Structure 1
Amino acid sequence: MKTAVQSLTKIEQLNFLLTNRIPRRWLTLFVGWFSQLESPLLAKFSIAIWQLFAEDLRLQDAKKQHFNSLGECFTRELKDGLRPLDRGPDIVTSPCDAIVGACGRVEGSKVFQAKGFPYELSELIPDVGLAHKYRNGVYVTLRLKSSMYHRFHAPVDCQVKQVNYISGDTWNVNPIALKRVEKLFCKNERAVIELKLDTSSSSITLVPVAAILVASMKFNFLSQTLNLRYRGANVIPCDAKFTKGAEMGYFQHGSTIIVFASHEYQLCPGIEQGIPIKMGEALLCGHPEPSETQPSPAFAGA
């Protein structure tokens, strides 16, 4: 048993060194460029290499079976009907396929990326007023593996009025890195998207976090692709409405989405760290407050 543990520790150390002690930015830019090269033969070869390291890659679920580029495979659409949607009015569904990471109650303004590795809401979400909405709320960290379906969807009926893009690093977001790099999510490229609910004063925000290799996020409602080459405004206004389950955008590689909800919500039964979840399955449940009871935005008692 001791030998097995020591072997696992060595593997974890090697994984950490290979993914986080290399020139992350330049490798990410290179892979971003490479993944967009249009060559069916090159794409087929690249996908074959990828499948050697990702046994759970299920291309038979994709609408297309042949791809012109590696990036086209990363961002593949699924066949219709493969992601049934929980339409319960009090249910917030998972916006993506993922492995559930750290989750639970926000402790005041403290969130955990892993045991013993806390960060402050304001370090992840720069808008102080928005961050305040999630004091003592609930959060779920959703990790998209590179082999997973990379598109993300609206977890509720909502409206998006702006995207706040924060440029940063491209650390790997796998569990090993999360246990070793403090405040990793607060260092990486990310976007903050508040979902405005038409009939409720409750609040839900998605924070997609980019990572090493293809650190790129594409939102269907923005003309810009948000990546390391983006040089536009950080706060990007928009006016997009979504019904629950509607596609919002996609990552061009595996990464993470952190879901925040105000205190009225709680984790649905069975949601715990380490379990797999699919887009459209129940993630949070609760009784959102009607919009006419919306509290004052004053921060008294914060």
Structure 2
Amino acid sequence: MTAKWMKWMTELTSRKWISRLMGRFSHSELSRLLIPSFAKSYGIPLHEAEKEIKEYRTLNEFFTRKLKPDMRPVHPLPEGLISPVDALITAMGKIDSGTILNVKGQDYSLAELLNYSPRTETYNHGYFFVLYLSPTDYHRIHAPISGRKLESEHIKGKVYPVNDFGMRHMRTVLSRNERLITYIAHEFGEVAVVKVGAMNVSSIKYSDDTANNWNRGDDIAYFEFGSTVVLLVENNTFEPLSDLAAGHKVKMGELLGRFYRNPAAKPRRTNTSI
């Protein structure tokens, strides 16, 4: 099947009504019959799940499952930034004057990604990670730092796939898909956790709508089926691990790098070891 044909089919199947139908089925009791084959097909590690497979009442409940305690230890470095998800790093790097460069061959306008938020300038020269969650992955999103919620924005959009095909052949899907953005203030500055919806995802939900403060590793939100998180770090506050690169798999709680204080605002720490 040609890329042109696949693109046309994707356009047809990226409508919200199809997503809603898939969502209704995944929430139905009938969908529980698919859980064993779904888990086997994707090689999901069932020993990590909080419950036994037979205890999940719907496919959605299984997909948004929690894990047993201590399955994802959080790196203890006080100034560390941790991965908020289990994911594949599809792109990472410095933000170049408001542009996220070369994400699967495409450049992204930060302003478009953040829906022209006034907060955009905070990240115009910052750092970014694009973290792709496949159906195999654990689909809850956790706090990458300890801090308080500054703002939250839900942006309605399309539901294009965020897999390799969608990212390469569909135009700037991360900026066109549905997004739920959480801005978090922390000791060293600010981060934005951009949760991007995908094909057949009926919603992105906060685990607790009333929560305004989190510790690193706390449960923030979850996806219903596979998607992507774009993690943005404020200008001049962050240094990534030297051996981290696009193509690496990470688990929630693993270290992505460390913060230093913005030299324009506060004295930099003298201890720079990771």
On whether the aligned pair clears a TM of 0.5, the verdict is yes
* 8 A contact 2:104–2:167 mirrored in 1: no
- Summarize deviations over 1:197-236 as a string: whole Å, max 9, x none: 1x33x221110001111231111231xxxxxxxxxxxxxx
For 1:22, the aligned partner's letter is T
**What does residue 36 of structure 2 align with?**
48
For 1:105, the aligned partner's letter is K
Given the alignment, which residue of 156, 159, 164 partners 1:175?
A: 164
Distance across 1 between alignment mates of 2:152 and 2:125 = 24
* 8 A contact 2:14–2:199 mirrored in 1: no
* 8 A contact 2:151–2:184 mirrored in 1: no
- The residue correspondences of 1:221-236 to structure 2 (distance < 5 A) are 221-222=208-209
In structure 2, stretches of 5+ residues that fail to align are 268-274
- Summarize deviations over 1:144-191 as a string: whole Å, max 9, x none: 111211111111111013311100000000011111112111100001
Identity %: 26
Tell me how far 1:82 sits from its aligned partner: 1.0
Q: Give the 3 Å change call, closer, same or farther, for CA 35–137 of structure 1 in structure 2.
A: same
For 1:59, the aligned partner's letter is L
In structure 1, stretches of 5+ residues that fail to align are 1-9, 223-237, 295-302
Distance across 1 between alignment mates of 2:215 and 2:258 = 17
**What does residue 246 of structure 1 align with?**
218
**What does residue 261 of structure 1 align with?**
233
* 8 A contact 1:207–1:258 mirrored in 2: yes
* 8 A contact 1:163–1:192 mirrored in 2: yes
Q: Give the 3 Å change call, closer, same or farther, for CA 106–161 of structure 1 in structure 2.
A: closer
* 8 A contact 2:129–2:232 mirrored in 1: yes
Given the alignment, which residue of 171, 176, 194 partners 1:187?
A: 176
* 8 A contact 1:162–1:239 mirrored in 2: no
Q: Does 1:25 align with 2:16?
A: yes
Tell me how far 1:80 sits from its aligned partner: 1.2
TM-score (norm 1): 0.80
Aligned residue for 2:212, secondary structure, equals strand
TM-score (norm 2): 0.88
For 2:67, the aligned partner's letter is L
Q: Give the 3 Å change call, closer, same or farther, for CA 250–113 of structure 1 in structure 2.
A: farther
**What does residue 124 of structure 1 align with?**
113
Q: Give the 3 Å change call, closer, same or farther, for CA 18–126 of structure 1 in structure 2.
A: closer
For 1:174, the aligned partner's letter is N
- Summarize deviations over 1:37-63 as a string: whole Å, max 9, x none: 135xx41x3123424642x32222101
Given the alignment, which residue of 131, 134, 138 partners 2:123?
A: 134
* 8 A contact 1:146–1:254 mirrored in 2: yes
- Give the length in aligned residue pairs: 264
- Summarize deviations over 1:63-107 as a string: whole Å, max 9, x none: 111211001101111111110110201210000111111111111
* 8 A contact 2:149–2:184 mirrored in 1: yes
- The residue correspondences of 1:71-220 to structure 2 (distance < 5 A) are 71-112=60-101, 114-197=103-186, 199-200=187-188, 202-220=189-207
* 8 A contact 1:189–1:215 mirrored in 2: no
* 8 A contact 2:90–2:104 mirrored in 1: no
For 2:22, the aligned partner's letter is V
Distance across 1 between alignment mates of 2:63 and 2:4 = 27
